[in-house]
Amino acid sequence: MKSDGVLQLQDAINRRTFLTTACRFGMTAVAGLLTDTGYSAVTNDGALTPLPGRPGMPHFPPKAKNVIYLFQSGAPSQMELFDYKPKLAEVRGQDLPASIRNGQRLTGMTSGQAHFPVAPSIFSFKQYGKGGIWLSELLPHISTIADEMCVIKSMNTEAINHDPAITFFQTGNQISGRPSCGSWVAYGLGTENRDLPAYVVLTSKGTGRPDDQPLYDRLWGAGFLPTQYQGVKFRNQGDPVLFLSNPPGVDRDIRREMLDEVGELNRLERTVAGDPEIDTRISQYELAFRMQASVPDLTDVSKEPSSVLEMYGPDVHRPGTYAANCLLARRLVERGVRFVQLFHMGWDHHGNLPKAIQGQCKDTDQPTTALVNDLKQRGLLDETLVVWGGEFGRTVYSQGGLTAADYGRDHHPRCFSIWMTGAGIKRGMSIGETDDYCYNIVKDPVSVHDLNATILKLLGVDHKRLTYRYQGRDYRLTDVYGDPVSQILA
Amino acid sequence: MPFDEFTIEQLAGDMLPNATMNQRLATGFNRNHRINTEGGAIAEEWRVETVIDRVETTSAVWLGLTMGCGRCHDHKYDPITQKEFYQFCSFFNNVPETGGGQEAPVNHPPIMKAPTVSQQAGIALLDNKQIQLEAQKNALLAADAPSAAQWIASMEGKVHAPAQDGLLARYSLSNAPKLLAGNAAPPRVVGAVGVDRGRINTAAVTDGRAFIDLGDTGRFDTHDSFSYGAWVNPNGGTGVPLSRMDSGAAYRGWDLYINNCKVSVHLISTWPTDALKVTTKAAIQSGQWSHVFVTYDGSAKPEGVHIYINGVYSPAEAEVNTLKGSIRTNVSAKVGTRTGSDGFTGKVEGAELYSRALNNSEVLQLSNGDPARLLLAIPAANRTQDQNAKLAEIWSERNDPEYKKCKGALDGVSKDRSTLDGQVVTAMVMEEMPKPRDCYVLIRGQYDKHGDLVSAGLPAAFPPLPAGTPINRLGLARWIASADNPLTARVAVNRFWEKFFGTGIVATSEDFGTRADFPSHPELLDWLATEFVRLKWDMKAIQKEIVLSATYRQSSKATPELISEDPSNRLLARGPRYRLPAEEIRDQALAVSGLLVEKIGGPSVRPYQPDGIWDETNVYGNLRNYKHDVGESLYRRSIYTIWKRTAAPPTMTLFDVPGRETCRVRRTRTDTPLQALVLLNETTFVEAARVLAQRVLTQGGSTPEARVTYAFRSVLARKPTPAEMRILISGLNRRIAAYRVNPAAAEKLVAIGDFPREPGVSAPDLAAYTMTASVLLNMDETINKE
């Protein structure tokens, strides 16, 4: 015998109420899955129409239309770049006091050390711009755009190793399985250019440490969101998008005719089978055809003015380098791609740090500056949010021996530095302070959730209201935490 | 195999009485978790993750429950407390595993050897042969016994032990070396020293890194007279088989140095200003045994160093002659290296050291590699039974040709057995520790925050384990597979339904909890579940019920009314229509073209992948420098494709195969332009189109209409309608004309994929038909099930 409650529930799920009450009765987004393909509403007109996001989005007027996230994978040392600590010279070589360390867990890579000698940076710092931003000699180019920068020296995280830490930045959780930030944004806001993915990923290897930490597809995956929101990683060799090019012997004309044939046959099938999904498939094939032109058009930088190419430095001519990817990032946002993320590997300097970090800065200093200037010159900087940073910081004490010219640093989650510029960001300032040992935060801590909430807010999204029901729970990028950092919002 | 039996074997096959190899192998299911080899990873933390992975997987797959929510707190929606979650974990917590991982493609314990059927047969054959030959050998020995004894007795007192005066140490070398004679420390292996047959008995195998430490013996000084040597078999030309020399202290000490197969002796105080180096003019052979021996008279002069090869004095040249100071060093004597450099790659046997310079005839005696010699020199009264048996074997080996033949065969069988054993793969399996591990509630799910100790058990919401059931993994498996379990049959039949209809009766096939979707047809689900049990869990029978049902056999044609009433066909007023899963799309293309190789089992295969696909983001691991297989391995079912969790085959992921880091029961189904690009341009599909075209041109008739019909029927299992035929013929004709004008383009297209070209088929025609076949493979009807 069924209880009243069960009958009521069943009644509520009968076909008349199914679609309208989907949300109220805890249904999964099955309805959404069926009609939404993530790439377009069904049109066959061939025009470049934007792809809308969720109904009701954005929640408020956005400052940023696009995001370029310059992820520095491996964790750049904040003491070498942004967080100037002159007093460390006085305690050089001394053991990190227990009062400072205050129970911070060590990794298996330094826990066996008998000593934790403080290692001041051998690089010198100066202040730049109206905001008096401290930057090291390793960043000569970035120093010239100090007036655009907003440096956060008080980032902190709980993750102490790369995979959980990057996963945390990307998905709001140290354990993988959840959608990445770019996927959330694609899902929520859609994209401006239907011919390109909403979320594009570009990777590059660092000269400072070419054998450094690997990356995983799931870092830009869609998790439990429908897979069309996943980041599409453009490759560094061959077709930037996998299987983009026609096979040898099939030119664009033959391909066009063949697609016409497929389309005609599918339209016949449509009338027979009646399945509206067939329309979607027809339009996806048309989109694929357009991508075969739009992607090479995107990656063909030969028509860029030489003055622009020179800004980025000589690496811009070598596909798969950070410089080349920065230029591509500008071209992607010009074409309306919503979320562009670069991953530059090679910052994990457990040893040989002074030499290695010079290599990394050589890779990134000039192209990053060029990208910001390039966006500014084209009037895009006020609509594009640019973020630069890694997954955690590095220890003030040396990993391995400390010599006059050489030291290494282990992972340090309690404080690290990132910077932002572009849409909606207050420029020419820094927030957050760490103690003299660059070990603990003393002012204005910013968590990873806070950062993600801020990014979403700049895109016009209330991070608490962009959710997706899965396993009975309304998930969001910021889990159950995070507040946008109002101090840095213009 | 019925589903209940299958369930029990997957979950607890190892715990069944007299578990067969296959039953143990089945438990590998619960070892398919991630293994973390990262530097600094905490083993216990990962062991806990592994246990929890098992619980989450088992609960989702068999019980349709999201038990994993109970890791950190009581389940928010379902009646599973956190304590009950950890009680459930306890069933999977007793595997003798550490949670640590090796950064190498090895299987992590517990493992078992998993010989194939033919390997098992081979092993049995060899084992039988061995038993036969052993018996034969023993019989021959017994028959020879009187003659052997007579010979041994006759040699009594006639054989003298090699020089004993001044013997410091004589060793038997192997991976477990021993001191045979002399007053020296027991030798000690450092590193991976191997063992092999020596010239006489056993030899140590060194690789340039591993060595044998002989301790403080051989503490010679410049004006001492002394001797040393060994049997050596170099592998390559250079290295130090025996030394007491400190490379870090300007090479102070003495050594024996094989120098591009020439033999050198160094006596060094400080290299090169205070040292002696003498090198033979002759060379020994790499890969062969030579007795190399050195005597020295304490004169610090090159003439005082005598090098003997195989017992014969070998003329030598002095390369350095400046020795004045002391060569005494405190580092230990070593076989296989100097102290700090110059490791020897090869085999060394029978090293010995003397505190005097032996004479020619003594050295000759030492080089006489007769294994019997040492044994016969021992007086009969002092000889052990083993030593006498060895002598008897030696006699038979030398005098009984039948024995020699038998022993040879036995050695051969042993070698073959060893080779075969090396080919047998291992598999990771489940085992149960004799005493279960303590299992704790983990506060907020953190591995090292132990709450209450718990014991294995089921959540109270479920019917309890029947009285008398052991509360262990086997008991759990039997309870899951029981007809009385309220969930197992429902969850299973729902998944079968999902497979055929695209969506389960319960749409959330991984979750039957309170937040899950209500069944669209509850009575149907009840009936299917009970029917499955009634049919004794016969999966084929229940699936036959489903596919023979009137519901399934409905046409999937949808009218606008049906669509508006029931867009996702939850009410089943029409048959199912949905895009095939990734594996089936690829397998189908291979099947319709005739490429599919239907072999079952075997190692993973490597199909086509884009060049360098995994090298950009992967620094370690064995999928870098990926090269696809050749031959039939390219055309196996997709289920056999090699898979790296962090870098999945793109064709599969583009068609919604989930990542395999954790269990995902239900897939999404998407429709993207990237999928279109795969079907249009990926090598597998282009090749399949070409191979289908080849078949069409050779077997499909002689007119375009016949050929198009043949191709159409191969792919879609029906004839084309007149309208479809018009479209296809028109496209075909256009392309034939185009490719005949541009045969170079045709050649390029038909060269794609490793499968051989059909001889006698013109490239332009083949190219045109290839594109027609490609059209067919890209039709919506082809990649949808309807």
pLDDT digit string (tens) for B431-481? 999 999 999 999 999 999 999 999 999 999 999 999 999 999 999 999 999
User: What confidence tier does B283 reach under pLDDT thresholds 50, 70, 90?
Assistant: very high
Dist. CA B391–CA B144, nearest whole Å: 12
Nearest-CA residue of chain B relative to A31?
Answer: B568
- Return the bridge partners of B256, or none: B242, B265
Token readout for B268 is 């060094």
As a whole number, mean pLDDT of residues B658-664 equals 85
Dist. CA B476–CA B11, nearest whole Å: 9
* A360: enclosing H helix or E strand: helix A353-377
Residue B303 to residues B278, B315, B749: CA-CA distances in angstroms?
9, 10, 77
User: Cβ A238–B610 below 8 Å, yes or no?
Assistant: yes
User: Cβ B672–A242 below 8 Å, yes or no?
Assistant: no
Cβ-Cβ contacts under 8 Å, A13 against chain B:
518
Collapsing DSSP states into helix, strand and coil, what is residue B341?
A: strand
Q: How many helices (H) and strands (E) does chain B have?
A: 23, 23
Dist. CA B172–CA B170, nearest whole Å: 7
Token readout for A482 is 């995070």
The pLDDT, as a whole number, for residue A465 is 97
B740 against B100, higher pLDDT: B740
Q: Model-level pTM?
A: 0.74
User: Cβ B517–A27 below 8 Å, yes or no?
Assistant: yes
Mean of the per-residue pLDDT values for chain B? 92
Mutating which of A36, A250, A343 best tests the B interface, going by the most B Cβ atoms within 10 A?
Answer: A250
- Give the closest of B661, B724, B771 to A254, CB-based: B771
Å between B622 CA and nearest CA of chain A? 13
The pLDDT, as a whole number, for residue A12 is 37
Q: List, as one string, the DSSP characters of B240-309.
A: EEEEEEEGGGTTEEEEEEEETTEEEEEEEEETTTEEEEEEEEEEPPTTS-EEEEEEE-SSSSGGGEEEEE
The pLDDT, as a whole number, for residue A13 is 36
* Residue B722 touches chain A, beta carbons under 8 Å: no
Å between A432 CA and nearest CA of chain B? 30
Nearest-CA residue of chain A relative to B677?
Answer: A243
The 3-state secondary structure of B191-251, one letter per residue: CCCEEEECCCCEEEEEECCCEEEEECCCCCCCCCCEEEEEEEEECCCEEEEEEEEEHHHCC
Return the half-sphere exposure (C-beta side, CA atoms, 13 A cut-off) of residue B258.
Answer: 36
Dihedral (C-alpha) A418, A422, A424, A425: value to the nearest 10 degrees? 30
Å between A158 CA and nearest CA of chain B? 13
For B348-358, what is each residue's pLDDT tens digit? 998 999 999 99
Name the H helices within A19-58. Answer: 30-35
Between chain A and chain B, the number of residue pairs with CB atoms below 8 A apart is: 237
The pLDDT, as a whole number, for residue A218 is 85
Cβ-Cβ contacts under 8 Å, B505 against chain A:
none
The pLDDT, as a whole number, for residue B731 is 97
* Residue B775 touches chain A, beta carbons under 8 Å: yes
Of B210-224, B588-602, B617-631, minimum mean pLDDT range: B617-631
The pLDDT, as a whole number, for residue B365 is 83
Q: Which stretches of chain A drop beneath a pLDDT of 50?
A: 1-48
Å between A226 CA and nearest CA of chain B? 6
The pLDDT, as a whole number, for residue B621 is 65
Token readout for A435 is 């103690």
B687 against A224, higher pLDDT: B687
Mutating which of B103, B446, B677 best tests the A interface, going by the most A Cβ atoms within 10 A?
Answer: B677
Ranges B162-176, B266-280, B379-393, B725-739, most confident = B725-739
Share of chain B above pLDDT 90, in %: 75
Token readout for B388 is 């006498």
Check if the beta carbon of residue A414 is closer than 8 Å to that of residue A133.
no
The pLDDT, as a whole number, for residue A25 is 28
Residue in this structure with the two tokens 């304590």, named with its chain if needed: B83
As a whole number, mean pLDDT of residues B768-786 equals 97
Share of chain B above pLDDT 70, in %: 99
Alpha carbon B260 to its chain's center = 37
For B8-48, what is each residue's pLDDT tens digit? 999 999 999 999 999 999 999 999 999 888 777 789 999 99
The pLDDT, as a whole number, for residue A23 is 33
Check if the beta carbon of residue B326 is closer than 8 Å to that of residue B221.
yes
For A108-148, what is each residue's pLDDT tens digit? 788 888 889 999 999 999 999 999 999 999 999 999 999 99
ipTM of the complex: 0.73
* Residue B725 touches chain A, beta carbons under 8 Å: no
pLDDT score of B272 more than 90:
no
For B119-148, what is each residue's pLDDT tens digit? 999 999 999 999 999 999 999 999 999 999
The pLDDT, as a whole number, for residue A165 is 96
Name the H helices within B596-721. Answer: 650-654, 673-681, 683-699, 704-716
Token readout for B127 is 């084992």
Check if the beta carbon of residue B316 is closer than 8 Å to that of residue B322.
no
Residue B742 to residues B128, B224, B737: CA-CA distances in angstroms?
67, 89, 9
